Amino acid sequence: MSAKNNNYKINKFIQANPEIDGIVITDPANLAYATGLNFQGLASIKNLCVIAFFSEKRRFLACPKILAMAYQNSGWHDSIITYSNCSDTEEAAASVSAVFISELLKDTRKSLGYIRDRISQTLYEKITAHMQDFSFVDITENFSHLRQIKSSLEQRTLELAAAYTDHGIAGAVHHVSRNGDKSEKFLTEDIRVHTLERGLPVNGYRAVSQAVTEDNAAVLWPHAPYYAVGRDGNFFEGKFIRLEMCGMLDGYWSNDSRMMVKSDMHGSQKAFAEKMSVLRKFACSLIKPGAVAKDIFNAIKAKAIEMGIHLADEYGFGHGIGVEPMEPPYISGSDETVLEKNMVLVLSIGARYTTGVDELYIMKDTLIVTEDGYRIVGWYENWDYPYTAAYTF
């Protein structure tokens, strides 16, 4: 990921908010957005506290010595302050950051923006303790909006990530058409391998895939980096199979779910798939600038009730995507976000198909909000209906 474009957006953000002299960023997702490096360890290893600071005049990064070279190679060069490994890395990072910021902003109003929803309470207390003459302004909502509006470079990266993932799923299911003897575990790995072949680095913490049917398809799979493990048993013919994949390209995520049937669909499956296709197209038609996320949710829900579809509405019907596989805005009953041009969304329409268990039938589409509607990206196959692997090779 090139952070130059995002740094430009952050600097424009500071200029547009004169009540703050700079901002501090401390959480893994926003650090990835600001620095261009998406370190999996920042979310899981306690001795890797990193603090980024941006002002109109200067930026710097406080990080442990073990990460310094990686940040230098990504363009931070002499804008890095390091600290040695210690038992309290939050205190070390807060201390060195406070010295630098206090000196740089000594002749200003001493007001800093911070992302309250993404900073740990202990780190916040340590930063404020070292900077008692500073005031701190919560910029959570405004900074979230900054990330939601994607630049042309971000859109292109997300589009490619969606395309590579979708092509990977399609490549995996083509093998089922040739050789129907596939287990959940085998097809799950097939999806990851085929996505890797298209160009996504699907190593651990950077990808997760799943292929499930029957009772295993009755629940949602965990999000990356948690892996779901399928069964050894082979797929039965004539059953819905849900194929899912999250991957990452240059620090930006893809999030995809497709449906397949081994052999042909029977009557009730065809009727259900037809309804879901109509509902998906209806949902897509609601995506446009000025639409409110919760209104879209309510309209989809009402349409499904009208059509007799048992929606999985507790999960919402979509979300934003970027440096996280799920991020604002959310197509849910409580999100009042107004959609804007250049947002990128994953529209996720899930419903229960009952075959003794309530299997979750989920289709996801990546959409870029345009000036007067939306543009769907990432399709390799025509996913209006489930892929039918009917031994056609």
Contacts of 356 (CB under 8 A, 6+ apart): none
- The mean per-residue pLDDT over the stretch 246-263 comes to 91
- The length of the chain in residues reads 393
CB 51 within 8 A of CB 94: yes
CB 230 within 8 A of CB 195: no
Which H helix or E strand runs over 304?
A: helix 293-307
So where are the chain's domains?
4-148, 152-389
What letter represents residue 50's amino acid?
V
Residue 38: HSE in the Cβ half-sphere, 13 Å Cα cutoff:
18
Measured CA to CA, the distance from residue 300 to residue 333 in angstroms comes to: 11
- Evaluate if residue 365 carries a pLDDT over 90: yes
- Evaluate if residue 180 carries a pLDDT over 70: no
- The mean per-residue pLDDT over the stretch 340-365 comes to 93
CATH architecture of 152-389: Alpha-Beta Complex (3.90)
> Position of tokens 């947002």?
343
Determine the 3-state secondary structure of 377 from DSSP. Answer: strand
CB 293 within 8 A of CB 336: yes
Measured CA to CA, the distance from residue 305 to residue 35 in angstroms comes to: 45
pLDDT given for residue 213 in this prediction? 83
- The mean per-residue pLDDT over the stretch 283-290 comes to 98
CB 304 within 8 A of CB 294: no
pLDDT given for residue 18 in this prediction? 92
pLDDT given for residue 232 in this prediction? 63
- The mean per-residue pLDDT over the stretch 314-328 comes to 94
Determine the 3-state secondary structure of 117 from DSSP. Answer: helix
Helix axes 293-307, 267-285, angle to 10 degrees: 150
Contacts of 77 (CB under 8 A, 6+ apart): none
Confidence of residue 224 (pLDDT cuts 50, 70, 90): very low
- Evaluate if residue 303 carries a pLDDT over 90: yes
* Nearest CA-CA partner of 42 in 29, 52, 59, 55: 29
User: Higher pLDDT residue, 209 or 291?
Assistant: 291
Q: What is the fold, at CATH topology level, of the domain defined by 4-148?
A: Creatine Amidinohydrolase; Chain A, domain 1 (3.40.350)
Distances (CA, A) of 328 to 4, 256, 339: 22, 17, 11
pTM comes to: 0.92
Strands 51-55 and 22-25: antiparallel
Secondary structure (DSSP) of 192-231: HHHHHHHT----TTS-EEEEEEGGGGGSPPPPTTSPP---
pLDDT given for residue 78 in this prediction? 81
pLDDT given for residue 231 in this prediction? 65
pLDDT given for residue 39 in this prediction? 85
